[in-house]
Structure 1
């Protein structure tokens, strides 16, 4: 058996394995589009073919099967895709933002909030390896509490509660709101499944609720695309403390009414583009955020909004130029 046949055999075995895994995973997935889920899972599992392709490009270049230019092209392309599929999605960064509501009236002590969003547990993301990295890095930062700005899921499997069990290792309270993928926009109807998974793992859903702290109030705001982002009652609430608003979609900031103290909204949704490519990413982002939010801090008429790039993936199982990130918001 020559080397070429060995490569063909490896490609064939991996392809059959990938198709089988995609089909089996789809049968365990909460989805209303089985064929669509199967195609997405095919992209996820067949991406393992990139490894033998990467090795084959080297062999083909040295043996003359490919021209030098062809070998370099295939090698570089497969290297890029391997990085975006297998490396960057697990390169969880930690970034810190320092924020003050009123520099003339600083807090008695700084408050550290760990912000994560868009875990998208399901087809591509949120597997045990990545969740363990996220939990460990959050604990290293010793935040006062953690907020999750929605999109927990991306057509998850039935065992969602078990997959989230590792979050019980986070050494701080966890507050959460849901996002469009959790609200059937465009995800499947998994509200009961998610609600149970969060409850048994001690994650507090604060949608339409207020959590009072000594120097500020944390307000959970429902998802914009689901029509649940109602903040008309905020001016009627006591205005003696500033508000931190937790809402999945940063475009919700335009609905914030004028308040005594300019509030800070914490959001996700955009993934920071997820795959950073010239022109194409900006075109897609116009559909994700009408107001042009991508990542970082933005100022609007009645509020500031900070947008995290999140940790998971949708559409394609790649991250490129936008590593998953935990944002520490230090308010003083």
Structure 2
């Protein structure tokens, strides 16, 4: 058996090596990031990369408890906390779920055939998420569902690197039309002015920006509405549009539903923005959510005076590089 000092030294050395690696990676990533707050981005990236220290800490807690360096209670506490954070950092964010719902959009007349829509939201490609591994998983799962079309309800970015078009190239493998609107992070609320960078990345990767545009389908119309926080969510003109078909509205912030005017048929809005809380903790998540959605949206289907809104928990992360009890989700909505 190795002497106690040698084994302890191996752990300490691993902490030092990982810390140096994490700091260097955070610095390099920040240098490639489109941001107006370099230090803030660096701190966020430090949290992302230094989280790898949790892995040796997990094993060290067992060893330190065994040799008596930690008390039994200290060892158990550090082990459980490390295991929880490792799950929230390295496991749940990569466990992409698929959720199915059915919704009757054609209240007066049934559709000629059901339409399957894949809803993505909040990919937040940038500091924490949306990189090659996750995007490949998302594209694979979307294609397995064979939707008629895909909609992306904004927040594509989270201070992305300057190679955004290259990162999004995986989306070319989606075997259905992809329609999109921007979210608040894409519109500099908060975030850097990356509208031109994002517009180019979407265009070269076959994603159609439909903000302020209408897409015609046999039994309904899809309309893209701009972001609420960016002041682009005016829908007062909608009653003047043709009303012979029901409307499917794509808009990032679910609170936008409060601005939908009275229409001939009840529309459905598809949104994201909330992440479902991203980290589900008692009391704390509910407090934070009050700042995210004034109308109390979190996840799932909500009914309002003039429209219904479905809120996706999305797939990405902001603020902290964790998801806990809110796994990234692709929503498959069957319209009839």
Contact 2:103–2:333 (CA under 8 A) maintained in structure 1 = yes
Matched, 1:78 2:82: yes
Q: Which residue of 1 aligns with 2:253?
A: 249
TM-score w.r.t. the length of structure 2 is 0.98
Aligned partners of 1:103, 1:240: CA distance in 2, in Å? 12
Separation of aligned partners in 2, 1:199 and 1:38 = 29
Tell me which residue corresponds to 1:57.
61
**1:118 aligned residue:** 122
Q: What RMSD over aligned residues (CA atoms) do the two structures have, in Å?
A: 0.7
Determine the structure 1 residue equivalent to 2:211: 207
User: Residue 147 of structure 2 is aligned with which of 143, 149, 153?
Assistant: 143
1:117 & 1:64 partners in 2: Cα distance?
48
Q: Which among 3, 8, 26 is matched to residue 4 of structure 1?
A: 8
Q: How many residues align?
A: 332
What does the per-residue CA deviation read over 1:172-193, in whole Å, with 9 as the maximum and x for residues that have no partner?
0000000000000001000000
Deviation at 1:103, TM superposition (A): 4.9
Match of 2:318 in 1: 314
In 1, Cα distance between equivalents of 2:180 and 2:167: 17
> For the residues of structure 1 that align with 2:212 and 2:241, how far apart are their CA atoms?
13
1:181 is the counterpart of 2:190: no
Structure 1 Cα separation of the partners of residues 302 and 271 of structure 2: 11
Alignment match, 2:42: 38
Q: Deviations over 1:222-273 (max 9, x none)?
A: 0000000011111001100000000000000000000000000000000000
Distance 1:329 1:211, change over 3 A: same
Secondary structure of 2:101's counterpart equals strand
Aligned twin of 2:156: 152
Residue number in structure 1 paired with 2:297: 293
Give the equivalent residue in structure 1 for 2:329. Answer: 325
SS of equivalent to 1:2:
helix
Q: Within 1, Cα distance between the matches of 2:323 and 2:313?
A: 11
Q: CA deviation at 1:101?
A: 2.3
**Corresponding position of 2:26:** 22
Structure 2 gap ranges (5+): none
Distance apart, 1:108 and its partner CA: 1.3
Seen in structure 2, the aligned counterparts of structure 1 residues 103 and 260 have a Cα distance that, compared at 3 Å, is closer
- Uncovered stretches (5+) of structure 1, i.e. residues with no partner: none
1:165 aligns with 2:145: no
Q: Contact 2:106–2:246 at 8 Å: present in 1 too?
A: no
The separation in 2 between residues aligned to 1:261 and 1:216, in whole angstroms, is 11
Secondary structure in structure 2 of the residue aligned to 1:71 = helix
TM-score when normalising by structure 1: 0.99
